[in-house]
Chains A and B, each alone.
Chain A
């Protein structure tokens, strides 16, 4: 009897373990979150100063620009497309807002400038991809260069300084001791999570990315849904530009160079699948924070600056590998 039940028991235990693992693996951002928590604990053991509230806040504030834009790009990637134009776009939004601020004053006008430029660029991206049917990687690559060209022409290479502190409120202000940039990020995260979960558009984004044919048959306006994701990225990039103004207090035309890759890295590292259809709004935030924490840790450990690119590259590759492994596990019947 016992000899018969023993193997059955172990099979049962193994299958249970597998279900548990599958359930954990099913949450797109879960593994990265676990890794992030372990990393923070590890670093804090080595250097207790790391876990202090002001340090953690500084890390969150530092992550907020990438995280905010990544929240938008996350939707684009879930919908099965990609947007790599955000580096130049952030530069353009920031420089335009800074220029306006230097001549006028206050917060509203620069803010509106940045967001409108962002939305306009997002609309162009959406148009190129969904109407002209240019593959998004090429269309947004083109926009990356076009926008950076516009930036160089209009900004004439000069650094912009001397705009009032109130303009940079999103980046340098605090409310109740909490940095406004963190509040903006949290607000955007909550709104997008709600939109993603509880609206038809939010659901359509996932459906379009996972099974375009089924979505089309079910009456989803596939192109319209994707168009929306590009416009969203534009708007969020505009807001991120205002955070930038406050955090750095000066604007050079090379703002945002290379940012597009950090953003895509944050999305993928966070656990959103690069092939579309799977992901969560938590993923880009966790991904952005993780990258910042890792860079901080490298500095704390005294690793030379040149190694940061190698490390971020390795992180992306690990994340992609993980994504592949996960898909292989979850897609098995």
Chain B
């Protein structure tokens, strides 16, 4: 209320409105630059949330380090950063899922240790996760009141009163839903609204939205925008995580950018260009991780033409040569893993063609793919890769049992010698081949999974985030291995969300965004900015 009288606010408001109508109005808007410190100084209200020098570690990994963040009532504060920048961890600290190891969380200016998400909820903090946490079989009304004890009369639910309150809240969001309809019959957008309405029923003052528009159509996204604006007008503070630069510039008041778990900057959204945001996200100082040797490439092994899977990716053209490493960059949810899994035959394409060594093929299952020399090392290597009760040897030979069997009888000797060969090649340590794989360390378990796929002797190797969750030393080891495999003539498709990795390893970089290839960059053209611009769709 007080800040309505400050000269900043009306201007900020009109800025937003003009942007909503006219998305080309960037140039004259950058003229009205607002210095972030001045913006903060003008606030006369206390922040509803303040993080002071917050650090959070998981094991040896620092997820968030020394972050400062504040949030005022009636503000939309966007949070940006690459995958793994620490946004989710930060939000989970605010939502009471994690407790900071260092630093403090202040709610209404009072230092608070949140016991759990319910505690956060009681203080008016609600989180709308990307994967909605609703109950598809229950009705809209039941979903709105899950886990709540209010509106009870003599131990019974007061259905009529609940309905009235529910309609009020949904009405304030400008929607009308059948309260008795099962949630699963609603569109994703409407389900999201139910989740928002639920947080409002709990009298939320802080709403955290994690990529709310990721699953929405353009029209639905516009409606969500209106709702966010309405919430802001009613004094709710909103933390908005998104990769969509335009959306953020249009909706947010301020943007905080994070990189590698560290706080980078907080700037006024209207004053920043999309280029500015990209630059802040990627930074400029990159450690040189690994120096690749160059080797000559051979014939084309894999080619995709117009490869499409309805709702996941479309019109993918791609070639992959023997001895070549092609990096597939993009943000999470861009459709890269889905593409890889379709090539591997776990999913079926709805259109397009696939060629292996020049001949058109249809791969309908993974056994087929393995037989044809395609290997896919999934992102979830441990949960989708290992059979824990099996020995190390049995895990290594698992995808190539046919090679060590006569008919269907496994030769124990051949199996052990195959396993030994790859154990030595990958330097797997910490147990004998006959020991259970579960006794190995995480890093060595990862190597077992790689060994399993190399044992199938693939000519095409698809690696999905091969160094996720691996420490730096083990990373370099994996890079060496990838390099060596390429030198041996394998065609390698490297999916990675780490720019450094993509840039260090790739001969060529393909960038995907929202299911399409939005950039193809040679080694010379590829740099952090060019990749991020293609990945986020930024315009300069």
For residue B41, CB closer than 8 A to chain A, the reply is: no
For residue A200, CB closer than 8 A to chain B, the reply is: yes
The proximity string for A residues 25-46 relative to B, scoring 1 for CB distances below 8 Å and 0 otherwise, is 0100000000000000000000
For residue B410, CB closer than 8 A to chain A, the reply is: yes
**B contact residues around A331 at 8 Å (CB):** 388, 438
A216: nearest residue on chain B (CB-CB)? B366
Minimum-distance CB pairs A-B, first 5: A219-B367, A218-B399, A213-B384, A219-B370, A200-B408
Contact present for A217 and B394 (CB under 8 Å): no
Partner of A206, one of B389, B412, B436, B452: B389
Contact present for B401 and A211 (CB under 8 Å): no
For residue B378, CB closer than 8 A to chain A, the reply is: yes
For residue B263, CB closer than 8 A to chain A, the reply is: no
Interface centre among B344, B378, B398 (most CB of A within 10 A): B398
Partner of B387, one of A199, A200, A206: A206
Contact present for A215 and B387 (CB under 8 Å): yes
Contact present for B378 and A211 (CB under 8 Å): no
For residue B355, CB closer than 8 A to chain A, the reply is: no
* Interchain Cβ contacts under 8 Å between A and B, 24 examples: A198-B410, A199-B405, A199-B408, A199-B409, A200-B401, A200-B410, A201-B408, A203-B401, A210-B387, A210-B388, A210-B390, A213-B383, A214-B383, A217-B378, A217-B384, A218-B370, A218-B452, A219-B366, A219-B367, A219-B368, A219-B371, A220-B367, A277-B389, A333-B438
A220: nearest residue on chain B (CB-CB)? B367
The proximity string for B residues 224-243 relative to A, scoring 1 for CB distances below 8 Å and 0 otherwise, is 00000000000000000000
With A216-B366, A217-B346, A220-B367 as known contacts, state yes or no: A211 contacts B387, CB within 8 Å: yes
Query: A residues touching B (Cβ–Cβ < 8 Å)?
Result: 26, 198-201, 203, 206-207, 210-211, 213-221, 277-278, 330-331, 333
What is the CA–CA distance of A331 and B369 in the complex, to the nearest angstrom? Answer: 32
Partner of B389, one of A199, A215, A220, A278: A278
Near A by CB (< 8 A), chain B positions 362-394 give 365-371, 376, 378, 380, 383-390, 394
B341: nearest residue on chain A (CB-CB)? A217
For residue B402, CB closer than 8 A to chain A, the reply is: yes
Interchain nearest-CB distance for A79 vs B (Å): 13
What is the CA–CA distance of A199 and B398 in the complex, to the nearest angstrom? Answer: 12
What is the CA–CA distance of A296 and B370 in the complex, to the nearest angstrom? Answer: 54
What is the CA–CA distance of A223 and B370 in the complex, to the nearest angstrom? Answer: 18
Near A by CB (< 8 A), chain B positions 412-431 give 412
- Count how many pairs of residues, one from A and one from B, have CB atoms less than 8 Å apart in the complex: 76
- The B contact surface, by secondary structure, is mixed
Contact present for A203 and B410 (CB under 8 Å): yes
Contact present for A199 and B410 (CB under 8 Å): yes
**B contact residues around A219 at 8 Å (CB):** 365-371, 399
**B contact residues around A277 at 8 Å (CB):** 387, 389
What is the CA–CA distance of A220 and B376 in the complex, to the nearest angstrom? Answer: 14
What is the CA–CA distance of A277 and B387 in the complex, to the nearest angstrom? Answer: 9
**B contact residues around A213 at 8 Å (CB):** 380, 383-384
Contact present for B346 and A210 (CB under 8 Å): no
With A199-B408, A200-B410 as known contacts, state yes or no: A217 contacts B389, CB within 8 Å: no
The proximity string for B residues 248-261 relative to A, scoring 1 for CB distances below 8 Å and 0 otherwise, is 00000000000000
Interchain nearest-CB distance for B343 vs A (Å): 13
What is the CA–CA distance of A333 and B388 in the complex, to the nearest angstrom? Answer: 11
**A contact residues around B385 at 8 Å (CB):** 214, 217
A201: nearest residue on chain B (CB-CB)? B408
Tally B residues with Cβ within 8 Å of A.
33
The proximity string for B residues 333-345 relative to A, scoring 1 for CB distances below 8 Å and 0 otherwise, is 0000000000010
B377: nearest residue on chain A (CB-CB)? A217
The proximity string for B residues 445-487 relative to A, scoring 1 for CB distances below 8 Å and 0 otherwise, is 0000000100000000000000000000000000000000000
B378: nearest residue on chain A (CB-CB)? A217
Interchain nearest-CB distance for A195 vs B (Å): 9
With A198-B409, A217-B378 as known contacts, state yes or no: A207 contacts B370, CB within 8 Å: no
**A contact residues around B452 at 8 Å (CB):** 218
Interchain nearest-CB distance for B8 vs A (Å): 53
**B contact residues around A207 at 8 Å (CB):** 387, 390, 398
A204: nearest residue on chain B (CB-CB)? B401
**B contact residues around A206 at 8 Å (CB):** 387, 389-390
B401: nearest residue on chain A (CB-CB)? A200
**A contact residues around B369 at 8 Å (CB):** 219
What is the CA–CA distance of A217 and B370 in the complex, to the nearest angstrom? Answer: 9
B440: nearest residue on chain A (CB-CB)? A333
**A contact residues around B410 at 8 Å (CB):** 198-200, 203
With A199-B408, A203-B394 as known contacts, state yes or no: A214 contacts B384, CB within 8 Å: yes
Contact present for B370 and A214 (CB under 8 Å): no
B386: nearest residue on chain A (CB-CB)? A214
What is the CA–CA distance of A213 and B370 in the complex, to the nearest angstrom? Answer: 15
List 14 additional A-B contacts (Cβ < 8 Å) besides A219-B367, A221-B367.
A199-B410, A200-B405, A203-B401, A203-B410, A206-B389, A207-B387, A214-B383, A216-B346, A217-B399, A219-B365, A219-B371, A277-B387, A278-B389, A331-B438
**B contact residues around A220 at 8 Å (CB):** 367
**B contact residues around A214 at 8 Å (CB):** 383-387, 398
Contact present for A211 and B386 (CB under 8 Å): yes
With A198-B409, A200-B405, A200-B410 as known contacts, state yes or no: A218 contacts B389, CB within 8 Å: no
Interchain nearest-CB distance for B140 vs A (Å): 29
A332: nearest residue on chain B (CB-CB)? B438
